[in-house]
């Protein structure tokens, strides 16, 4: 591969530091671009991953870097991931996207958490349910996290539930939402993400990226060129005969991994022994009732069903294991669990849970499904794309020899994916259901890293976040408690608060939550006032 010489940077507007780099054309960008030999970036594949990458690279790479995206209208995108976690707001803010405009354009709604139904079975005939709510749960005192005071309260016979102290949980329960709560001096504890049409989001980002110089090439890739000496990718040839050459490539080609696997042979770590579901069916349905500000994950006899409310429809799907459930029965379960009329036939998806052993090989980085797949149980699919883009921007190579950057990218990616994997495995391992699939999940071996975390929590309720892993203590706490993992003791430091002060402390925390939620309008009213799509009522 021939590396072109360095280029000069054209004029641009300086902007805030986002994802560890400066905005395209800023002061830092000028300094790095002068040394950079990477002048042509080619993204293979569109969809959510491709256009997220195109938008971010167009915003942040040094001016003078050309960005091309190759996709074919004849190749469909998976597009089942429509729910996100709060970090997506950082991505949109980094691009300078107006939140209300984005919501309108994507038929979006707001999301305060994920409600889990039936994962601990149905004691007394009533399905269990809990919510993994975003934001904080109470506030700690000194070295003692809030939940340790709550555990002490419960050990003494107190009746308050964990989610009584979560503003996001209470707002979700009452279908309420607001961004501005009138008390900037007092943290509300509320955090939110979005539920949106992934296809519309990709189209929205395409407009954004093309307006900033990204060139789209229509066509199927029929050949991939490689440098004979180094093995780097040099370009792709389309079915039209068009050749698109580049210095650096981003593989967003989906499960097939056209560049990262079929060309560069990265290898794949199969995690199906830990997460055995290998099929999904997706179907949209008509909206019924109020638009809930949360996603729902309902455990079924084999696997689980998602429900994601948008402005114009509701997204639904069933994730299941083909070894325990045939496709016809899966379709019956999915359609029987809808709360509105189906708007299409269920669309099937097959997958093997896992990840590429190396997401960066030679001069190619894989994002999205090309990098791997973990079921959307905790809405991590789009976040893992976002995290990969941020990591790529932080480590974007100066020249053709990117082995050092690739090693660090792969190290960080491996750590992040394994942490998310463990969090998902927890849901299956700590289930309380009695069907054969769920018994098998409960009895299957789990990673040592997860077993240690569960044992530590069972002992004294202690939780520790590993480095910069995605899910912090409140997330682990809610899933553990929600699925019946109860600590035997609480942290003895929590006894430092006298009993009367403990009661007052918890009462103040609860009143704060009630006051925050009491100021909120309904979710539908907020959308109507700020960001309703013009065709919201369309099917």
Nearest CA among 55, 59, 48 for reference residue 21:
59
CB atoms within 10 A of CB 288: 12
Mention every residue, 6+ apart, whose C-beta is less than 8 A from residue 528. none
8 Å CB contact between 268 and 397: no
Name the residue among 359, 348, 362 with its Cα closest to residue 384.
359
Q: HSE, CB side, 13 Å, CA atoms: give it for residue 290.
A: 16
**Other CB atoms closer than 10 Å to residue 30's CB: what's the count?**
18
Got the DSSP string for 442-470?
HHS---HHHHHHHHHHHHH------TT-S
Is position 17 annotated as part of the catalytic site?
no
Helix, coil or strand: residue 505: helix
Secondary structure (H, E, C), 147-192:
HHHHHHHHHCCCCCCHHHHCHHHHHHHCCECCCCCCCCCCCCCCCC
Helix (H) or strand (E) holding 25: none
> If phi over 0 gives left and psi between -120 and 50 gives alpha, with beta otherwise, what is residue 64?
left
- Of 138, 187, 188, nearest in space to 502 by CA: 138
How far is the C-alpha of 458 from the C-alpha of 462, rounded, in Å?
8
Residue of 17, 111, 341, 362 marked active site: 111
Give helix then strand counts, H and E, for the chain.
15, 21
Closest alpha carbon to 56 in 12, 21, 102 = 21
How far is residue 68 from each of residues 65, 206, 235, 447, measured CA to CA in Å?
Answer: 10, 12, 11, 41
Catalytic positions: 111
């Amino acid at each position: 591969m021939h590396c072109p010489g360095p280029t000069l940077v054209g004029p641009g507007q300086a902007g805030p530091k986002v994802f560890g780099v400066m905005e395209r054309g800023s002061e830092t960008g000028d300094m790095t671009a002068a040394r950079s030999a990477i002048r042509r970036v080619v993204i293979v594949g569109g969809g959510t991953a491709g256009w997220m990458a195109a938008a971010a690279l167009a915003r942040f790479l040094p001016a003078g870097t050309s960005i091309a995206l190759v996709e074919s209208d004849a190749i469909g995108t998976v597009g089942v991931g429509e729910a996100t976690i709060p970090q997506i707001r950082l991505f949109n803010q980094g691009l300078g996207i107006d939140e209300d405009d984005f919501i309108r354009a994507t038929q979006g709604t707001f999301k305060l958490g994920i409600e889990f139904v039936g994962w601990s079975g149905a004691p007394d005939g009533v399905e269990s349910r809990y919510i993994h709510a975003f934001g904080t749960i109470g506030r700690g005192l000194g070295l003692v996290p809030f939940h340790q005071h709550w555990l002490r309260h419960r050990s003494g016979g107190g009746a308050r539930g964990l989610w009584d102290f979560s503003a996001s949980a209470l707002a979700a329960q009452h279908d309420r939402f607001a961004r501005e709560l009138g008390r900037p001096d007092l943290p509300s504890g509320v955090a939110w993400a979005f539920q949106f049409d992934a296809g519309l989001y990709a189209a929205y980002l395409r407009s954004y990226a093309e307006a900033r110089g990204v060139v789209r090439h229509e066509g199927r890739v029929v050949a991939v060129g490689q440098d004979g000496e180094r093995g780097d990718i040099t370009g792709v040839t389309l079915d039209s005969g068009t050749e698109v050459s580049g210095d650096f490539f981003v593989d967003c080609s989906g499960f097939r991994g056209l560049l990262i696997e079929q060309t560069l042979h990265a290898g794949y770590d199969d995690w199906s022994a830990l997460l055995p579901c290998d099929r999904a069916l997706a179907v949209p349905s008509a909206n019924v009732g109020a638009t809930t500000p949360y996603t729902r994950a309902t455990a079924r006899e084999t696997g689980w069903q998602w429900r994601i409310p948008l402005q114009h429809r509701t997204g639904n799907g069933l994730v299941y294991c083909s070894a325990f459930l045939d496709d016809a029965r899966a379709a019956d379960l999915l359609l029987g669990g809808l709360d509105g009329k189906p708007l299409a036939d269920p669309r099937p998806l097959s997958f093997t849970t896992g990840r590429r052993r190396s997401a960066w090989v030679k001069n190619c980085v894989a994002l999205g499904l090309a990098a791997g797949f973990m079921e959307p149980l905790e809405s991590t699919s789009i976040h893992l794309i976002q995290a990969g883009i941020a990591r790529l921007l932080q480590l974007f190579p100066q020249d053709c020899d990117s082995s050092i950057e690739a090693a660090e990218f792969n190290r960080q990616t491996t750590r992040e994916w394994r942490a998310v994997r463990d969090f998902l495995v927890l849901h299956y391992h700590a289930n309380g259901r009695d069907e054969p699939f769920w018994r098998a999940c409960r009895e299957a071996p789990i990673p040592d890293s997860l077993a240690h975390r569960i044992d530590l929590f069972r002992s004294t309720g202690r939780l520790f976040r590993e480095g910069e892993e995605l899910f912090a203590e409140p997330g682990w706490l809610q899933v553990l408690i929600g699925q019946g993992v109860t600590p035997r003791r609480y942290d003895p430091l929590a006894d430092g608060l006298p009993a009367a002060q403990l009661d007052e402390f918890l009462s103040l925390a609860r009143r704060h939550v009630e006051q925050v939620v009491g100021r909120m309008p309904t979710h539908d009213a907020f959308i109507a006032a700020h960001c309703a799509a013009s065709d919201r009522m369309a099917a």
